[in-house]
Structure 1
Amino acid sequence: MLDLFADEAPWQEPLAEGAVILRRFACADAQSLIAQIFRLAEQSPFRQMVTPGGYTMSVAMTNCGEAGWTTDKHGYLYSPIDPQTQQPWPAMPAVFRQLSDAASKAAGYADFVPDACLINRYAPGAKLSLHQDKDERNLQQPIVSVSLGLPAVFQFGGLKRSDPLTRVMLEHGDVVVWGGPSRLFYHGILPLKAGRHPATDEFRFNLTFRCTR
């Protein structure tokens, strides 16, 4: 599938108070980002985590940075150690940090310094149910989320799971940043439709930068 808009300049699209979509913001760095994803996965492989309730997630995940998001029988947590390899998570690549810094500043969050990056890999049919990002200690810091590869429908709601949802298509290179009043808004990804992207083949990758400190 060709990306007909790859050469378009980035632009901002408001999503909610404190939240914005930076369209095409990561396109210039996409090739380097994807190369680093594959390198990181050689050290800490993708895996489908099991929730405390015993549900196997359809999205495959790994992490990089000082801490990684994971699960155990007690709940969800950030750990400096990859439970699969029993080694520290791989260091966050410089290109990841640079993009996160530029995106957060463009969205109006000048002091964001993430120490964790969750890397999600979506195959056709994979989804992410509505949830809040609330396992971080510092909820004053925003979330920076980068889409690479196949397009997906992003759902963005409110502080309650039952709040009305905004549904937007996220495409290759789009970055969503949310914080402030919308920091704890429910969000998720609808099941990924089958397709092929020249940069990622049949997959969609998502980088989610967070400050856990």
Structure 2
Amino acid sequence: MGLLALSVAFAAAVVLTGARGASLQELQWAIGAGSVDKVRVIGALPPEATGSSRVSIEWQNGWNRHVTTVLQVSTPDEQSSSTMTRDIEPLHGDVERQLRAWDGDGALVVEGGIRPRWEATVAGWHVPAWLSPVAPLLWISAVLLLVGGPEPWRATRWAWIWVFASPFAVVGIPLFAVLSGPTRGVRQPSRPERRWTGGWTFIGVTLIGIFLGLAS
């Protein structure tokens, strides 16, 4: 129960203090739709400067906070020579000018910043630096409970290990806290001997990862 409470508290802290990672296209749509009236730009090149720079753009849409990272390049040659091009989306020319070009009514406020509000990343969310150490502590707690606790329900220890070692650990740890048993309010399986094995779980998380990678 303690692991479940910690997982819920951590998830709540991520949502309440962090910002969801988004694409540059999402920002363009939001500005064009008029749902964003202010953005914060960190790390942009000075006007008329040449070269490339990693730029963070932060904005809020209602209660939802978002951040995207782009590679600002002054010329196509800079983009081809940059080693960061494969990891982040490129944006050519002046960042502020491009953002204002997407704004139909000219009401967009563009602010500058020295450093990002969120300096760490957890499961696609950008979070404050103080929150990032909690994720590995949560993972270690889950592994220790798995290894040192009673035999888990519904899946073998190796099955849960593959879940914890996958990108889906952020979902797998709360599921483990609820489904591995015994948990108040959760009924024990009628046939405890029928459990997911490590082999099938490995195949499952691998196929899901491949599918999500192709879909992204």
Structure with more strand by fraction: 1
Larger Rg: 2
Relative to its length, the structure with more helix (as a share) is 2
